[in-house]
Structure 1
Amino acid sequence: MLSESYRVLEQLRLPHGLYVASPSNDYKYVWIRDCVYMALPYLDKPTKEYEHTYYRLLDLFREYEWKLDILCKQKPQWEWEYLHARYSYEDVREIHEEWGHIQHDMIGAFLFGMGQGAERGKKMLRDKKDREIVQKLVYYICNVEYWHDADNGMWEEWREVHASSVGACVAGLKAVDRMVHVPDEAIQAGLQTLMRLFPRESHDKPADLAQLSLVYPYRVFTGVLGETIVRNVEKRLLRERGVIRYEGDSYYSTLEQEYGRGNPLSFYYGTEAEWTFGLPWLALCHRELGNMPEAADYVRRTEAVMLEPGKLPELYYSGTAEPNPNTPLGWSCAMYILAKEALKDSARALRGLA
């Protein structure tokens, strides 16, 4: 299952180094966030896939440096003014249609990934220009005041201040503070917002799948705080074949086709789609918290919902074994790889201590 999951990632990796989210027609795009997560399995590998992904993302930011220069000096007023979250897969260009591009977490995720690579001795900066781009990204999220600038969040929906977005920026800023100048007050402002929101994701959402990122990979919350986040997600959002994103989520819900017909139905709890990457994500969080039996159980549950070895769909319709068309989803495969390999590493470490 592990080798097949890597094969999925290899098939989704494009010649320029970035990843298409899924081979489905709806997801044949490049998302910055997806690329960050899909590159993570290569972080500790001696190969160059990890660096190549970040070099192409740096090239992307170079191409839109003119936009970044404006954003470092003045706050954007419209969604299209922000750095875009989604690009064409062939030439990695902005797509000119309305989209929830205000996603501070994707910039935090990119900075975090840069810092993680550098920490492991990878050459993340090719030249002076790369360093300048990283510095401008830091100034950009500080200038928009990410700690209270409502964004579209990980799920690209309505604007709120999201704990998962704020936490990503905090982790990203901390990760690059040896690379470039990072204002300490910007980190402190983010931490204050996180504690005000805790344990909620936002004003509207008491729990959200995206909050797991605060435990893994960002490790913003550890110990009792991390345990509180994970248990809250499990209590409210865990289902048989995955984790719903949040209560009342309408995306690929079992009522979605009724909305498509124009029926004036309200959102109902129990109709939300079950996202498969929630299971390995919980495994990774439990490993971070030292709950190894639970981590192992979530890896087994992930393997049980694969359509075939290594092939995980984005989600299953609520309470069914019917996947949606976004299959396989690269992000899901990457999370499974990370969880499976993390457990193997832990098992080896325990044998070494015996």
Structure 2
Amino acid sequence: MNINNAIEVLDRMRLPNGAYTASISKDYHFVWIRDVVYTVLPFLQSQSDRYEKAYHALFELFKTYEWKIDIHREKKPVYLFEYIHSRYSTDLKEMSQEWGHAQNDAIGAFLWGVGVGVSHGQKVIRDEKDLAIVQKLVDYLECLQYWQAKDNGMWEENMELHASSVGACVAGLRAVKMLVNVKNELIQKGEETLRFLLPRESETKETDLSLLSLIYPYRIVERKTALKIVEMVSESLERTNGCIRYQNDQYYNEGSEAEWCFGLPWLGLCYFEMGMHDKAYEYVNKTVRIVPDNWEVPELYIGGKNVPNGNTPLAWSVSLSYLFLNRMINMPSSQLTGND
């Protein structure tokens, strides 16, 4: 398996404006803020300009809708279309279609990516106008009272208070507090919510694949909670071709829940983050099994059918698979014992 094929696949999904389409399929030929954040993680520490160009594209997107951010720094959104959207056309325009637009995690993810990018020497911030957008997004989360705000969550579904959304916002606010003004209490309120909610994802979901984000890439939970999250996800949600997002998920469910391919490398990355290298290594073969030679990793395997859906390749799947396998390949073999 040539791991560098992953980068070629991602480059095919890279748009002239620097952002990435979630997939080249008809259904997913759109730009999701969250997907872009995860898609460019392989380039965070590279010399290429892919990371910063992707964020420059997202900054341009936010500038187009700056008037909307300005309104909702002062006044909470009421209707879904009033929220800052998380999905756009490939030329970075809002879609008119009804959607679960209230996705606070996407805003948190963007802020996190900006802060982490700057700390890794990426020229993500170009000028004062970019910094002003960062400040306005912080103000937007404050106006929303994100720590107690119901949203559609990472999977764009029913409105409830999601630990993964609150956690993304906490991570984002922490990451940009050196760049703009972030009140300490704004972060503390989110942390209090997480202490109350975790290890649950929400009132209706005991566990959820999205909780892995709090371990990787955000690293915002303590070890005891992280262990509980990976234990619950691997025991309840892990399957052969990936992980289900949560129990009774109806998306692409044709007899059972769909198996999302990126769940396997994501679990591996989480174990790696926790220093549990032997456990992480168990996910190498599991991940290799779902990565085809051409590196066009699918979104998911249709539940009950054991075949990939049409959203192949999914940028996010390719990115997490590459990140995990690349990390494991480059790890000294001496680290593969006694780390559990």
TM-score range, shorter-chain basis?
over 0.9
In the TM superposition, 1:124-273 aligns within 5 A as: 124-255=124-255, 271-273=256-258
Q: State the secondary structure of the residue aligned to 1:206.
A: coil
- Percentage identity across aligned positions? 48
SS at 2:31 equivalent:
strand
Displacement of 1:183 in angstroms is 1.0
The residue type paired with residue 304 of structure 1 is: R
Q: What amino acid sits opposite 1:83 in the alignment?
A: I
Q: Deviations over 1:59-94 (max 9, x none)?
A: 1101111001001011111000010111111x2100
Paired residue type of 1:204? T
**Alpha carbons 2:212, 2:266 under 8 Å: kept:** yes
In 2, the alpha carbon distance for the partners of 1:321 and 1:74 equals 46
Instruction: Give 1:346 deviation, angstroms.
Output: 3.1
Instruction: Give the Cα–Cα distance (whole angstroms) in 1 for the partners of residues 284 and 18 of structure 2.
Output: 28
Matched residue, 1:267: none
State the Cα distance separating 1:320 from its structure 2 match. 4.4
Q: Which runs of 5+ in 2 are unaligned?
A: none
Quick one: which amino acid aligns to residue 37 of structure 2? V
- Number of paired residues? 335
Deviations 1:188-224 (A, max 9, x none): 1101111111110000000100000010000011312
Contact 2:254 2:305 in 1 (8 A): no
Structure 2 letter corresponding to 1:76: P
Counterpart residue number, 1:78: 79
SS in 2 for 1:346: coil
Q: Structure 1: how far apart are the matches of 2:267 and 2:294? A: 20
Contact kept, 8 Å, 2:254 with 2:304, in 1: the verdict is: no
Unpaired runs of 5+ residues, structure 1, are: 256-270
Query: Does the C-alpha gap of structure 1 residues 349 and 52 become closer, same or farther in structure 2, counting only changes over 3 Å?
Result: farther
* Deviating 4+ runs (over 4 angstroms): 348-351
Question: Does the CA contact (< 8 Å) of 1:222 and 1:289 recur in 2?
Answer: no
- One-letter amino acid matched to 2:269: L
**Residue in 1 that maps onto 2:57:** 56
- Which moves more between the two structures, 307-316 or 95-104? 307-316
Deviation digits for residues 26-60 of structure 1, max 9, x if unmatched?
00101000001001110000111100000010011
Of residues 292-301 and 163-172 in structure 1, the stretch that sits farther from structure 2 once superposed is 292-301
Give the C-alpha shift of residue 305 in structure 1: 1.6
1:307 and 1:313 in contact (8 A); partners too: no
Name the CA distance, whole Å, in 1 between partners of 2:305 and 2:83. 38
Give the aligned partner of residue 300 of structure 2.
315
Q: Could you tell me how far 1:318 is from its partner in structure 2?
A: 2.7
* Greater mean deviation of Cα atoms: 317-326 or 36-45: 317-326
1:94-133 alignment runs, 5 A limit: 94-133=94-133
Letter in 2 for 1:205: K
Distance in 2 separating the partners of 1:302 and 1:195 = 32
1:133 and 1:180 mapped to 2: Cα distance? 10
Match of 1:45 in 2: 46
Distance in 1, matches of 2:184 and 2:54, equals 28
1:292 aligns with 2:293: no
Letter in structure 2 aligned against 1:334 = S
- 2:19 matched to which residue of 1? 18
Is 308-317 or 191-200 further displaced after alignment?
308-317
Query: Using the alignment, how far apart are the partners of 1:176 and 1:344 within structure 2?
Result: 32
Q: Secondary structure at the match of 2:88?
A: strand
Per the normalisation by structure 2, the TM-score is: 0.96
Native 8 Å contact 1:280 1:339 kept in 2: yes
